[in-house]
Structure 1
Amino acid sequence: MTTTSSPHIPESAVEAFVRVDRVTRTAAALVRIDTRNPPGREAAAVPALLDLMRAIGCDTEVFTSSGGRPSVLARYGTGAPGRATLLINGHVDVVPVVEADWTTPPFDAVVSGGRLIGRGAADMKGGIAAAVEGLRACLDAGLAPDADIVFHLVADEETGGAHGTAELVDAGLVRADACIVPEPTGLRVAVAERGSWQAGIEVFGTAGHGGEPALGRSAVADAARITTALHLARFHDRPHPLLGSPTCNVAMVRGGVAANVIAPACTLTIDRRTLPGESADDVYASIVRTIDASCPDVDYRVLPKFFCEASELPLPHPFADFVDACRPRPRPHTRPRSRVAPGEGFIGLSLGSDARFLRNRLGIPTVVYGPGSIEQAHGADEWVGIGDLTLAARTFARAIAGFADFVAQADTGRVSPSRQTGRQL
C-alpha cells in the first residue's frame, strides 16, 4: 500500500449522525451483562449482541469454540470476492471483580458525572459500542459503506484468546484488508504492544535448624537474590522506540515450612514482558542467562507456563495514517501508560491484545484504538467518559465511511495474506 490522504468524507455528513444517547445506551446495555472470565460467561451476551447487529442489517453467525465458548460474527455488506473488508475485533469477556471495592454495583452501568461506570466500560465494551455507533451513524447519514464491515465480538481475550480469536484464526474464518481493535487507548492509535512470558522458578536449598542458619542453605534467601537480579536486569541493549525495554516482575513468592526451619524450597512466579520478535525460547534463555550470571551458585529450575507474543505494525504504514487522520482532534480526557515515539502521534502499549494474532499470524494491518484508558481497566469503579465514547464513535464513522476509498487508493499489487485464505461469513 502507498500513503493516502485523509478520507474525503464531509464531517457533517457522518459525525453529525453520531448520537451520544445511543452510544451510551449501547455501552451500558453491554456492561450490564456479566461476562466475567474466568469462568467464561460470554454466552450471556450472545442474544443481546445478535439483536444489536441484526437491527442494523448485519448477517450474523455464532462461532462456538472447541471449549464451548461462543463468539458473535457479524457482517454488513455483500461478502463478494475482492470487496474491501474492514474487521473490527472486540472481546466481550471482562475480568473478575471484588465487589466490596466498588462504590457502585459493578454490573449496574451507572452514568454519573459524564462517566459510564461498570466492569468492562473501558475494557472494552465501550469500544465495541463506539464501533457499532460508527456504523449506525454512516447508515443514518445515508452513507452505506462501499466496503464490507465485519465485527468479531469474541470470547476469552482476558485469559489469552485461545477460545476466541486464536480459534477463529485456526478455523480460517478471519479475512480482512485491515483491522481495528477497540481496546482503551485514550483515543490514540496504538501500533505496537508488549507480550508476556510467565513461568515458575523453583529454588532448592538445604533444610536445617532455624537457630543455625549458616549450617543449611536458605532457598528463600537464594530466591531473593534471583528476584533482585531479574528486577534489575537489562535484557536488551537498545529499547524499542514505542515499547521501551523488556521488564521482568517477580509477582509471587512461596517458600519455607516453619519459622524455626531453614527454608528447603521456594517458588517464584514471574512475568517477563517481551518485545516484537522475541520467541518463547529467546525469553527462556534470557532468564537463565540472567540468573546464572548473577547467582551462579544457586540451585534452581525454570518451568515455563504461558507465552503471549508481542506484536507491532511497523511504521510508517498507510493504514495507521488513515485511522489517525480519522480521529477528531480535541485532546482526550485520559492518556494510557505508554510511550510516544519522538515526532510521532502513535503509541505502544505495555498490555497485550488479540491484535497479535492478526498481525503475527495473518499479516493483517492492525491498529488498536478506543475510548477510555488502561488506567481505568481492571480496577474498581472502572469507567469510560461519555465524551470519549462519542469521539471514538466519530472516528469509527469516518473510518467506516472512508475505508473503501482508502483501499482503492492503495497499491493494488499488494494483497494482505488474509485475503487469500479462509472463508467469508
Structure 2
Amino acid sequence: MADESGALSQAESEVVGLCQDLIAMDTSNYGDHSGPGERAAAEYVAGKLDEVGVEPTIYESHPGRSSVVARIAGAEPARPPLLVHGHLDVVPANAADWTRDPFAGEVADGCVWGRGAIDMKDMDAMALAVLRQRLREGRTPPRDIVLAFVADEEAGGAWGAQWLVDNHPDLFADCTEAISEVGGFSFTVHDNRRLYLVETAEKGIAWMRLRARGTAGHGSMLNDDNAVTELAEAVARLGRHDFPVRLTKTVRTFLEEVCEAFGVEFDEDDAESTVARLAPIASMIGATLYHTVNPTAVNGGYKANVIPGEAEALVDGRFLPGMEDEFFAEIDRLLGPNVTREFLHHLPAVETDFSGGIVSAMADSLRAEDPGARAVPYCLSGGTDAKSFQRLGIRNYGFAPLKLPPDLNFAGMFHGVDERVPVDGLRFGVRVLDRFLDMA
C-alpha cells in the first residue's frame, strides 16, 4: 500500500493514531463488571466506521458491556463472508509497575505503549485503518466482510462473543472462516528467514473450584478428617504433576517447520530441545506440548485454633485439542475420592486445518511484504473468542500480522508490564491485511 516513492498510505498514516486512541480508553476487565466497560470504545469504533459509510450496530449485553458488528458488502455475494473480529477489553494494569502510563498510548522508542497494544487494540486499529481506506477509495473486497469488535474476551466472552453467538447467531451464520488475534507475528530465524506463526489451534480452558469437606473441631485435638489437609495434599499433587508430552497435529507440524528452518532433524522424543531454540516465545510454545494445571488460590478456615469443616482451592487447567477426556481422567485420579471439582469456566479446545485458500492468502500476503516470510501453524496455550465462534462451524485463525524486532519479548508482553507494539509493525500489518483481503 505504500507507493513507489515510499510515501505512507492513509491507512499506514492513521493506524498509529487509531491504536493510541483505543489504548487511551481504559477498558480494563476485572471480571466482575467493576471496570468502566467497553461502551466508549464501541462508540469510537462505530463512529470511525460511520465516517466511511458503514452502518454499524452496537449491542449491549450488560450495562457498559458493548460490542460493535458491521457488514461490508463484497464483489461476490455468493461467497461465504469472512469474519474479522477483535476484542475491545483489556486486562487491568498497575501504572506504578510501568515505565510509561499504560493508558496514555504514548509513542516512544519506535513503539506505541500501553495496555492493549498487542492484546489486542493493535489488530483493532489495523482492521479499522485498512477498511476505512478501502471504503474511502471504493475498493470492494472479493467477499463480504463481517466486522465484530466485542466485549469481555479477557473474562471468557460471556458478555461479548458468547452472548452474540447465543443471542444473535444470524449475524455470523453464513461466515465460514474468521481471523483475529495472537497470530501472524514473526519469529526471526536469521536475517533472511522469518517464521510467521498463524494460530490454528488453542488449548481448552478448565478453571475449577476444588472442595474438600471434613470434620470441624478444636485445633488442639487430634483430627484425621481435616479438610485443609485433604485439600492441601490434592493441590500439591496437581501442582507438582508432570503431564507427558503429547504432540497434536498442529504442534507436530510447527516443530517440524522450526527444525527445517534451523536445518536440524526433528526428534519427536525430544520436542523440548526444539522448543528451547525459540526464545523469546519458548514459554508460549512450550505450554502446548502438554496439558497443564496450576493452583491459583487456596481458602479454608477462619481462626488459628478452629479446624474448618470445608476448604476450597482454585486451579487453572488447560487441555490439548482432542484430549479433553484423558485430561479430566488424570485430574480426577490426582484429586482422589475426597476432593470434588466444579467448573468456574469451561471452554473447549479448538483446532482447524492449515490448508485452503485462506491459508494461501495469508502466506502470499506475508511474502509480498517480507520475502523472507514463511507462514506456519501453531497452537496457542491460552484462549480467544475463537472458542465461541467455532460453535457456529466457523474455522478460526489467529492472523494479526506483525513483523517484530528479533529481540522483542513479544510473548512476555501479553498481560505483562510495558506492553507495546512497534510502529513499523503496525504499518507492516496494515499492508499485509490489505493484500490479504484481496486474496482471501
Instruction: Give the alignment's TM-score, normalised by structure 1.
Output: 0.78
Gaps of 5+ in 2: 187-196, 252-287, 405-409
Match for 1:353: what amino acid?
Answer: T
Query: Is 1:134–1:400's contact at 8 Å kept on the other side of the alignment?
Result: no
Match of residue 197 from structure 1: 206
Match for 1:375: what amino acid?
Answer: G
Which of 410, 413, 428 does residue 391 from structure 1 map onto? Answer: 428
User: RMSD of the alignment, in Å?
Assistant: 3.3
Shift of residue 273, structure 1, vs aligned partner = 0.4
Cα distance change on mapping 1:68 and 1:272 into 2, 3 Å: same
The alignment of Structure 1 onto Structure 2 pairs a total of residues equal to 377
1:382 aligns with 2:382: no
CA distance in 1, matches of 2:375, 2:69: 34
Alignment of 1:100-139 (within 5 A): 100-138=96-134
Q: Deviations over 1:206-254 (max 9, x none)?
A: 4566566x65444333333212322344667733252322111111112
Alignment of 1:87-98 (within 5 A): 87-98=83-94
Match of residue 6 from structure 1: none
Gaps of 5+ in 1: 1-8, 333-342, 404-425
1:57 aligns with 2:53: yes
1:28 aligns with 2:26: no
Match for 1:355: what amino acid?
Answer: A
Q: Deviations over 1:41-62 (max 9, x none)?
A: 1111122111211223323222
1:290 aligns with 2:334: yes
CA distance in 1, matches of 2:317, 2:345: 10
Shift of residue 21, structure 1, vs aligned partner = 3.2
Query: Is 1:200–1:270's contact at 8 Å kept on the other side of the alignment?
Result: yes
Moved more, 266-275 or 230-239: 230-239
Shift of residue 190, structure 1, vs aligned partner = 0.8
Query: Is 1:26–1:129's contact at 8 Å kept on the other side of the alignment?
Result: yes
Task: State the SS of the aligned residue for 2:127.
Answer: helix
CA distance in 2, matches of 1:351, 1:15: 38
> How many percent of aligned residue pairs carry the same amino acid?
32
CA distance in 1, matches of 2:64, 2:143: 32
Bigger relative contact order, structure 1 or 2 (CA pairs below 8 A, ≥6 apart): 1
Cα distance change on mapping 1:14 and 1:45 into 2, 3 Å: farther
Alignment of 1:245-324 (within 5 A): 245-261=290-306, 264-277=309-322, 284-292=328-336, 299-324=338-363
Cα distance change on mapping 1:49 and 1:67 into 2, 3 Å: same
CA distance in 2, matches of 1:80, 1:315: 24
Q: Deviations over 1:130-156 (max 9, x none)?
A: 122233454577743232222111111
Q: Deviations over 1:289-335 (max 9, x none)?
A: 3322xxx6xx3222222112111112444423322332243789xxx
Cα distance change on mapping 1:146 and 1:375 into 2, 3 Å: same
Match of residue 153 from structure 1: 149
CA distance in 2, matches of 1:163, 1:59: 22
Which of 333, 337, 357 does residue 388 from structure 2 map onto? Answer: 357
CA distance in 2, matches of 1:87, 1:215: 59
Match of residue 160 from structure 2: 164
Instruction: Give the alignment's TM-score, normalised by structure 2.
Output: 0.75
Match of residue 367 from structure 1: 397
CA distance in 1, matches of 2:96, 2:63: 31
Match of residue 401 from structure 1: 438
Shift of residue 262, structure 1, vs aligned partner = 5.2
Match for 1:246: what amino acid?
Answer: H
